[in-house]
Amino acid sequence: MIGVQLSGGLGNQMFEYALYLKLKSMGKQVKMDDFTCYGPTDRKNMLGIFGVSYERLSEAEYIALTDSSLRLTQRIRRKITGRRDLSYRERSANYDPEVLTREPALLLGCFQTEKYFIDIADQVREAYRFRGYEPAGADREYDRRIRESLSVGVHIRRGDYLDPKYSALYRGICDDGYYERAMLRIQSEFPEAEFFFFSNDPEWVKKHYQGPRVTVIEGHTEENGFADLYLMNRCRHQIIANSSFSWWAAWLNANPDKRVIAPKRWLNVDPLGKAGVREACTDIYTKEMILL
């Protein structure tokens, strides 16, 4: 039995579910733990927009994998023999081959690299089709303009990335200089490029990025943020942030001639403390990415 812990927002969950699909393809008995990382008011499974399904880890199975029973006899036994916790957290923010071999285990982490699932890429792409979703209202007009122009999706992540407690991870990576270089790189090849900005802080973006070929996508919240992913993916090219959300928009982009620009440094440090700056999260990059 293997459990894969579901955590974070939509982009993170997509990586975790892709790992689930990989393990299933290997013939393993695997289930998703979709409850331990979320409180009663949190959104849990955000994958519903794709219509995916999975086997769900039960509370009893979770307790067995983590040896966390509160029964008195089990608590006494742990005092004597120690805890037999089968949880396994990926060793770094890069590819960890042991993730695919641990069994039984509860797998914890972000698993943010296509190296975990590249051999079943077609299956993952099929899983992440927007089944039955049709943009409405302003999104329908955005969609039309994106399809009919030489569109470039630009993702700017603010919000939680500005929290001082995350500054060691994100500070100074996707700054104004990065976006300026990226837009100039696109314009040097595609002078007619139209830039469509996606952000969790559209008001800030409107003040800082203006022009006749700039459109800031508005009207989306955490509840319907998947619409950003849908529209971003429809763009011909992408300028992504160091965010799993825009990573997936670029990865799912079916344009064979797409340009994907990414920051040459994804994180300042490995969040697990196992690697230096130069090694932090390098496996997240794909071969078509242009690093600036």
String of DSSP letters for 58-126 = PHHHHHHHHT----HHHHHHHHHH-----EEE-SSSS--GGGGT--SEEEES---SGGGTGGGHHHHHH
pLDDT over 80 at 216, yes or no: yes
Report the mean per-residue pLDDT for the chain.
92
Q: Which pLDDT band, with edges at 50, 70 and 90, does 276 fall under? A: very low
281: left (phi over 0), alpha (psi -120 to 50) or beta: left
Given a cut of 70, is residue 41 above it in pLDDT?
Answer: no
Distance CA(6)–CA(38), nearest Å, equals: 9
Q: Tell which residue, 258, 254, 261, has the closest CA to residue 289.
A: 261
Q: Rounded distance, CA 208 to CA 199, Å?
A: 12
- Write the pLDDT tens digit of every residue in 53-104: 999 999 999 999 999 888 887 777 778 888 899 999 999 889 999 999 999 9
pLDDT interval class at 277 (50, 70, 90): very low
**Which one is predicted more confidently, 167 or 183?**
183
Look at residue 174 and tell me whether its pLDDT is greater than 90. Answer: yes
Percent of the chain with pLDDT over 90: 77
Amino acid code (one letter) for 54: Y
Tokens found for residue 167: 């500054």
| DSSP code of residue 282 | G
CA distance 117 to 212: 40
Beta pairing, strands 214-216 & 30-33? unpaired
**38, pLDDT greater than 50:** yes
Q: What is the DSSP string of 19-58?
A: HHHHHHHTT--EEEE-STT--TTS----GGGGT---PBPP
Q: Where are the domains of the chain?
A: 2-127, 138-291
Angle at 223 between CA 219 and CA 224, to 5 degrees: 50
- Looking at domain 138-291, its CATH architecture is 3-Layer(aba) Sandwich (3.40)
**Residue percentage of the chain with pLDDT more than 70:** 97
Is the distance from CB of 246 to CB of 233 less than 8 angstroms?
Answer: no
Q: Lowest mean pLDDT of 171-180, 231-240, 262-271, name the range.
A: 262-271
pLDDT at residue 8 above 80? yes
Output the pTM of the full model: 0.94
